[in-house]
Amino acid sequence: MHQNKYIYIFSYDNFETELCKLESRYIFKKEDKNKLLFSDIKIEPSCSAFIKKRLEIILVSEDYTTLINEIKNENICVDGFKVEYLVLDGDTTEYSKRLEKLTDIGYSIEGDPEYYMPAITYALCHYESTWCFGILIKNNYAWQKHKQKPYSFSNSIKTNIAKALVNIAAEADNEKKLLDACCGVGTIMLEACFSGNNIEGCDINWKVCWKARENLSFFNYTAKIYRSDIKDITDRYDAAIIDLPYNLFSHSDKVTTIHIIESAVEIAERLVIVSTSDIANIISNAGMIISDHCSVGKSGKANFERKIWVCEKKE
């Protein structure tokens, strides 16, 4: 822990556990434990639906008094600050003691506090005999505004899944060029644009392409969307995200699935595929190996699940 710069605090429902851990493996190269993760990798919490908070560690000490003295020695001078106590797994500090410690830190910082709209939030936490003090950044959930997009489909994937797919495909690298290969009304593209990812989209249905463009424009995002069969796309991509058609607004059968995946293999180094059935054989026959996968359920629907496949080209 002492070697890590950041502590991430996660929040997710049981049916999203596998998806969150899959996302973490591609962002942090490891999974959370008891909804905590320690890392040197800096990620904005709002880029993920599952990261609730990030603590940027400034000081650590196994002795609380020493930590307070070190905070004083930092000579922090700032107006509009707030201090919070993070209760991490295993911390048994009583509420009254937590308040006392927050007061200690407040008196160690020069400036006027602001409890309701702070300019900066500091935090204290205790984990495995070590006290940590740092700057707290919270998920602002501004991406939830996308739920108010002008056009949507009832069968579209949820925002939590869309954000995870982008992170899995990009591997915490916004420079990677992504393709949303069956973009529909742009649910995945909205999350990629929000997080600053480099993404383009395509769909064979001109009506949904128009709706996707309108959705992006509504939030002042800019990204290319091609009304095209994926086999006619000539650009190359670091990764393609494929939320396979559900045979509702676009025709879908095994032949269509094979066509989409085989066409994507020609233009992308990696594929992140969403399906409602087992397509492992189709992926293998297309010249890809499944490097990771998970299942994600749906709230209130015990028998429904989507499968997410992370695929790499065979050597």
Residues 202 and 223 in one domain: yes
In a domain, 1, yes or no: no
156 has a pLDDT exceeding 90: no
pLDDT of residue 301: 62
Q: 274 in the Ramachandran plot: left (φ > 0), alpha (ψ -120 to 50) or beta?
A: beta
Residues 246 and 122 in one domain: no
Burial degree of 122 (CB within 10 A; 0-12, 13-18, 19+): buried
DSSP 150-187: S---TTSPPHHHHHHHHHHHHTT-TTSEEEETT-TTSH
Residues 34 and 166 in one domain: no
Rounded to 5°, the CA angle 3-124-35 comes to: 65
Banded model confidence at residue 4, pLDDT cuts 50, 70, 90: confident
Mean pLDDT of all residues belonging to the chain: 94
| Whole-structure pTM value | 0.93
- Total domain count, the chain: 2
Residues 227 and 164 in one domain: yes
Residues 65 and 113 in one domain: yes
- Taking only the tens place, the pLDDT of each residue in 99-123 is 999 999 999 999 999 999 999 999 9
- Taking only the tens place, the pLDDT of each residue in 283-292 is 999 999 999 9
Question: Are 120 and 68 spatial neighbours (Cβ–Cβ below 8 Å)?
Answer: no
Distances (CA, A) of 159 to 50, 156, 162, 258: 11, 9, 5, 26
Q: Which of 201, 158, 189 is nearest to 308 (CA)?
A: 158
Strand partners, 243: 274
Residues 178 and 100 in one domain: no
Residues 87 and 38 in one domain: yes
What distance in Å separates the CA atoms of residue 115 and residue 107, rounded to the nearest whole number? 15
Mean pLDDT of 255-264: 95
- Taking only the tens place, the pLDDT of each residue in 22-36 is 999 999 999 999 999
Banded model confidence at residue 297, pLDDT cuts 50, 70, 90: confident
Banded model confidence at residue 298, pLDDT cuts 50, 70, 90: confident
188 has a pLDDT exceeding 80: yes
> How many residues comprise the chain?
315
What is the domain range of residue 287?
A: 143-313
Residues 242 and 118 in one domain: no
What distance in Å separates the CA atoms of residue 280 and residue 292, rounded to the nearest whole number? 11
